[in-house]
């Protein structure tokens, strides 16, 4: 977790402080940040996506002998702290939670592992124990002074950048030439919201300001009131659209075929199928290039329709899957760096408007693909990129098709359907439902299967042929 947070800090310069424990991390962006024009959905989805990708990428480094059995995913949400005092109270709240949870867990596992109690018994013993009682229990029964236990677990971890001196080269006489560089480092303190810790770090004072008073007690409800939690309108289709971040670079670095790389699209499709399997409320997925749209049914109550939870869960799961499945698709290509995706949620009130949305995406697919096919054919034939761009300026669809046919012998309409129409993924009823025996007593009937098709979803006939998708 700490290494992933460190990578996040290196990736996004606007993050100036982070604090984490257990399975959570908080990242503080500077007040003046213009990251993604401060669009909350983009900021939180990109960070959680990158974090997840790094987590899966680094897994083998930390667990060389353990297989990652399924894709981990994380939820994210934004908290806007209107003043430094609120940020201070927020941090005090998170560190307090870290302490309470760790103290409980330390007691619980001592009782189970050394005290010979069952998990139920340990739970019962700790049910009404207060902080002081728990410390006494540890001390008296197990000879443990809680304050001597591992600081990493008791205090959590702060990561932020400080200026460090780096030796860049040596002069002829052997004296080192030093330069100041900002580097992320790990810090710990009993009280991260205290003045002593905070005000002792010049970089925190500079980036965030100083704490004028210590923060002794926080009311979690007060802090929670700053959580940015918008709920999506009831009884509307929810579309979560994710899009690869800077995929022009990602595609170049990984030498994707231009303009379409079948394997890269196959990988996107594999991940989308996994998303559909994981989130039962998703009824339809449509993907093109580095983007995917996931349609959730109108009456979905997933995460009580909280936008940030739904977006982050899907984008994080997708990113996880992308890294996990990379080797299945690109067996000869190494994943050079962790990819990330942004995500957003939009509500569509009627079937017609939802279909208009999907048609818009498919039209976009067609226009981009036709343009890109011409563009890259021209470039491959020896034109420079700007020459190709100028050549195509203002050309109509039929002119582009003519260019492809006459100059390059390409009949646009015979190019693979996946490139021209994108990919639609949905469930269909099985004609012969199979019976799967889970155990001796229960027999599950599998009535649907997931299919990936490359078809025209603009025309009404598709929706008429598959009435169960929207009904």
Residues that bind Mg ion (CB under 5 A): 243-244, 247, 290
Nearest CA among 27, 23, 43, 45 for reference residue 311: 45
Q: Residue 248 CB, nearest distance to Mg ion (Å)?
A: 8
Distance, in Å, from the CA atom of 198 to the CA atom of 184, rounded to the nearest integer, reads: 16
What helix, strand, coil percent values describe the chain, rounded to 5?
Answer: 50, 20, 30
Query: Are the CB atoms for 207 and 18 separated by under 8 Å?
Result: no
Q: Report the nearest approach of ligand GTP to the CB of residue 379 (Å).
A: 12
Q: Give the one entry of Mg ion, ligand GTP, none that residue 289 binds, where binding means its C-beta sits below a cut-off of 5 to 8 angstroms depending on kind.
A: ligand GTP
Cα 78 to Cα 229: distance, rounded to the nearest angstrom: 8
Secondary structure string (H, E, C) spanning 310-377: HHHHHHHHHHHHHHHHHHHHCCCCCCCCCCCEEEEEEEECCHHHHHHHHHHHHHHHHHHHHHHHHHHH
Q: Give whichever of 107 and 314 is closer to Mg ion, judged by the CB atom.
A: 314
**Hey, what are 422's tokens?**
């994108």
List contacts with ligand GTP (CB under 6 A). Answer: 243-248, 251, 256-261, 264-265, 289-290
Q: Which of 90, 99, 75 is nearest to 17 (CA)?
A: 90
Q: Would you call the peptide bond into 273 cis, given omega within 30 degrees of 0 as the criterion?
A: no
Is the Cβ of residue 375 or residue 426 nearer to ligand GTP in the bound state? 375
Is residue 183 a contact partner of residue 165, using CB atoms and an 8 Å limit? no
| H and E: helices and strands count for the chain | 17, 12
Please report the DSSP string for 186-208 in residue order. Answer: EE--S-TTSHHHHTT-HHHHHHT
Shortest separation between residue 244's beta carbon and Mg ion, angstroms: 4
- Closest CB to ligand GTP among residues 114, 248: 248
Minimum Å gap between C-beta 289 and Mg ion is: 7
Give which of Mg ion, ligand GTP, none residue 248 binds (C-beta under 5 to 8 Å, depending on kind): ligand GTP
CB of 261 to ligand GTP, least distance (A): 4
* Residue 58, binding choice from ligand GTP, Mg ion, none, Cβ under 5 to 8 Å by partner class: none
Of 57 and 260, nearer to ligand GTP (C-beta) is: 260
- Please state the closest distance from residue 253 (CB atom) to ligand GTP, in A: 11
Sign of the C-alpha dihedral computed for residues 407, 412, 418 and 420 taken in this order: positive
- Among ligand GTP, Mg ion, none, what does residue 137 contact (CB within 5–8 Å per kind)? none
- d(CA 215, CA 456) in angstroms, rounded, equals 60
Q: Which does 261 bind (CB under 5 to 8 A by kind): ligand GTP, Mg ion, none?
A: ligand GTP
In the complex with ligand GTP, the residue whose CB is nearer, 372 or 395, is 372
5 binds, among Mg ion, ligand GTP, none (CB under 5 to 8 A by kind): none
User: Residue 207's binding partner, choosing from Mg ion, ligand GTP, none, with beta-carbon cut-off 5 to 8 A by kind?
Assistant: none
178 binds, among Mg ion, ligand GTP, none (CB under 5 to 8 A by kind): none
Residue 8 or residue 265: which is nearer to ligand GTP going by CB?
265
Distance CA 416, CA 419 (A): 6
> Cα separation of 402 and 147, whole Å?
77
Tell me the closest approach of the beta carbon of residue 258 to Mg ion, in angstroms: 15
CA dist., res. 79 & res. 93, Å (int): 13
Q: Which does 260 bind (CB under 5 to 8 A by kind): Mg ion, ligand GTP, none?
A: ligand GTP
Query: Residue 114: helix, strand or coil by DSSP?
Result: coil
Q: Which is nearer to ligand GTP, 71 or 259 (CB)?
A: 259
Smallest gap from Cβ 8 to ligand GTP, in A, equals 17
Residue 45 or residue 155: which is nearer to ligand GTP going by CB? 45
Nearest distance in Å: CB 273, ligand GTP: 18
Helix (H, G, I), strand (E, B) or coil at 178: strand
* Choice between 244 and 338, CB closer to ligand GTP: 244
């Amino acid at each position: 977790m700490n290494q992933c947070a460190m990578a996040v800090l290196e990736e996004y310069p606007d993050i100036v402080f982070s604090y984490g424990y257990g399975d959570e991390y908080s990242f503080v962006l500077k007040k003046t940040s213009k990251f993604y024009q401060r669009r909350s959905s983009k900021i939180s989805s990109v960070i959680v996506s990158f974090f997840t990708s790094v987590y899966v990428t680094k897994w083998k480094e930390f667990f060389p002998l353990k297989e990652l059995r399924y894709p981990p995913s994380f939820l994210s949400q934004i908290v806007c702290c209107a003043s430094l005092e609120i940020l201070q109270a927020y941090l005090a709240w998170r560190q307090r939670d870290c302490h309470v949870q760790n103290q409980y867990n330390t007691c619980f596992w001592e009782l189970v592992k050394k005290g010979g109690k069952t998990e139920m018994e340990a739970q019962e013993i700790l049910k009404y124990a207060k902080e002081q009682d728990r410390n006494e229990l540890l001390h008296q029964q197990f000879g443990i002074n809680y304050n001597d236990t591992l600081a990493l677990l008791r205090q959590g971890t702060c990561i932020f950048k400080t200026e460090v001196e780096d030796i860049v080269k040596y002069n002829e006489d052997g004296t080192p030439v030093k330069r100041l560089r900002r580097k992320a480092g790990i810090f710990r303190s009993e009280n991260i919201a205290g003045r002593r810790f905070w005000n002792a770090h010049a970089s925190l004072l500079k980036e965030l300001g100083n704490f004028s008073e210590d923060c002794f007690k926080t009311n979690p409800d007060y802090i929670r009131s700053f959580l940015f939690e918008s709920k999506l309108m009831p009884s509307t289709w929810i579309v979560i659209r994710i899009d690869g971040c800077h995929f022009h670079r990602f595609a170049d670095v990984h030498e994707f075929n231009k303009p379409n790389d079948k394997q890269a699209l196959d990988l996107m499709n594999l991940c989308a199928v996994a998303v559909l399997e994981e989130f039962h409320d998703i009824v339809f997925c449509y993907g093109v290039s580095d983007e995917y749209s996931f349609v959730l049914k109108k009456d979905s109550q997933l995460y009580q329709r909280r936008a940030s939870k739904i977006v982050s869960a899907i984008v994080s799961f997708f990113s996880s899957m992308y890294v996990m499945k990379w080797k299945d698709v690109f067996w000869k290509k190494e994943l050079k760096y962790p990819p990330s995706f942004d995500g957003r949620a939009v509500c569509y009130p009627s079937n017609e408007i939802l279909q208009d949305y999907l048609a818009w995406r498919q039209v976009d697919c067609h226009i981009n693909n036709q343009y890109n096919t011409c563009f890259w054919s021209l470039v491959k034939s020896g034109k420079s990129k700007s020459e190709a761009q100028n050549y195509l300026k203002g050309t109509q669809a039929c002119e582009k098709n003519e260019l492809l046919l006459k100059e390059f012998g390409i009949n646009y309409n015979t190019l693979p359907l996946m490139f021209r129409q994108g990919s639609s993924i949905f469930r269909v009823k099985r004609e012969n439902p199979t019976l799967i025996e889970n155990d001796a007593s229960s027999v599950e009937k599998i009535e649907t299967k997931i299919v990936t098709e490359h078809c025209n979803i603009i025309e009404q006939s598709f929706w008429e042929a598959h009435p169960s998708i929207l009904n």
